[in-house]
Structure 1
């Protein structure tokens, strides 16, 4: 019993590490002057480079797939690329607090998608929680519109980016049942990075000529929020309840907003704080009474 308790505590510790790690993502992106699609591309390519030494061990899973699996992997990678492009772009128009708070809607969208695709039922309290979260979203949107149309545009980009990552998660839920965390992440990261590379090529964005500071930011994004955040959460899915892992997104807006206040000197308005609490309460209610 003590051994199990210690083991669970270790997973809890890693869970907290993951939440803190992903919260740094918006800070690093704000520090960079590169295009969001370039940031996302190098963030993922550098992550793959770090993972490469272990690729030989998983060569069978990396090379052999059914046609259906390949289609799902491609769709998952494209949705992840779209998420990075939209959400990272939102940070150019709105604050970290407003942009990250919409990410808290991810578990709601994932469970809504599960209902539509897998026919997973939602009870009344879950629907009430979803309604409360949506009210908070409207409050932030209306308050940001009062500030500027740019801020509202950033909110819309963040919401669309959250929808994209929810679709990515739903596809991943199917693929992870037959694929290891390493193989899934490696392939999806590669597809997402290449999708962004094609986008950058079409847009004519430079692939080289970035300063050492920019390359340092790209590397920090690869190590901290990607490996110690997203990859860690996918690994924890094997040892922790999937619903509990997905609730990690609730901690990101809070920590990211505090980091932005401390490191970027971004002010937190009363509307953002109040509406943020409304969204978090709605999502918590939804997740608390949801079932696997």
Structure 2
């Protein structure tokens, strides 16, 4: 019982951490791709000394972690820019369609997907339409933000699936370091090609980056990576859905973002649909 309570407590901390990621990124005076690079690079620098004593790593492990890292880079490289194009609530809701895409990817690689998962997927897509409908009346800029957030959700699904396979063989610190380091290197190339600066912003920007790294990366993603072995990817996906209302509330209180009635309704429908997808994905 105490073990279950301990896992629940760690997952709650992870939810609080990832809920702060979107508002902090939206408030930081730092280019989006630079945020994505620095949060993974800073985390890698802290984890490197800890991973030295974590045991032997095979070539297969390195390749699996590298693939997870590239997918994480795609997730951050699309979702964080979306926060500057659409609202925090909308972006977070769309990127959290991850369990739906997890079911789709599972089916594409030959896995079995129960009917309840597809029913939940239809409900989730209804929620997506309600949430994105706010932006349909807005601008092409907001629509681009919606599309990037959805792509970030797809990448996150692949990241969780690959990560679950890697976590079956590797300690949390080893997997996390290899994954974050690969993501940082991938994002560094993207930042340099895009011509975005890596330094030169005010102290507020650096404080935001430290906050994102501590909250989103260490308290958020690292604890979720730990949970992949103990509770599994489906449960992690369900728990991560709590980021949607968490980020929306933080953005409303801190950034003054207004939550329209249609957005709130869409969030509720989306959460219900994605939770049904994740629950059905657990199997009998």
Measured against the shorter chain, the TM-score band is: over 0.9
- Quote the Cα distance in structure 2 between the aligned partners of 1:21 and 1:55: 22
Measured against aligned partners, the alpha-carbon deviations of 1:215-247 in whole angstroms (never above 9, x if no partner) come to 111111111111111100111223324322221
Partner-residue secondary structure (3-state), 2:53? helix
Alignment correspondent of 1:279: 270
1:40 maps to 2:36: yes
Q: Is the 1:106–1:249 contact (alpha carbons within 8 Å) kept by the matching residues of 2?
A: no
1:102 maps to 2:98: no
Q: CA deviation at 1:177?
A: 2.0
Q: CA deviation at 1:69?
A: 4.0
Alignment correspondent of 1:176: 167
Give the TM-score normalised by the residue count of structure 2: 0.94
Q: CA deviation at 1:163?
A: 1.0
1:291 maps to 2:282: yes
Structure 1 residue runs of 4 or more that deviate by more than 6 Å after TM superposition: none
Q: Is the 1:103–1:249 contact (alpha carbons within 8 Å) kept by the matching residues of 2?
A: no
Give unmatched runs, 5+ long, in structure 1: none
Which aligned pairs between 1:107-256 and structure 2 lie closer than 5 A? Answer: 107-117=99-109, 119-256=110-247
Q: Is the 1:76–1:167 contact (alpha carbons within 8 Å) kept by the matching residues of 2?
A: yes
Measured against aligned partners, the alpha-carbon deviations of 1:58-108 in whole angstroms (never above 9, x if no partner) come to 2533xxx32x44443332212211111110000111101100001221012
- Quote the Cα distance in structure 1 between the aligned partners of 2:228 and 2:157: 16
- Quote the Cα distance in structure 2 between the aligned partners of 1:99 and 1:19: 16
C-alpha RMSD of matched pairs (Å): 1.6
Give the TM-score normalised by the residue count of structure 1: 0.91
- Quote the Cα distance in structure 2 between the aligned partners of 1:21 and 1:60: 30
Partner-residue secondary structure (3-state), 2:282? coil
- Report how many residues are paired: 283
Measured against aligned partners, the alpha-carbon deviations of 1:181-224 in whole angstroms (never above 9, x if no partner) come to 21111011011111111112122222222322211111111111
Give unmatched runs, 5+ long, in structure 2: none
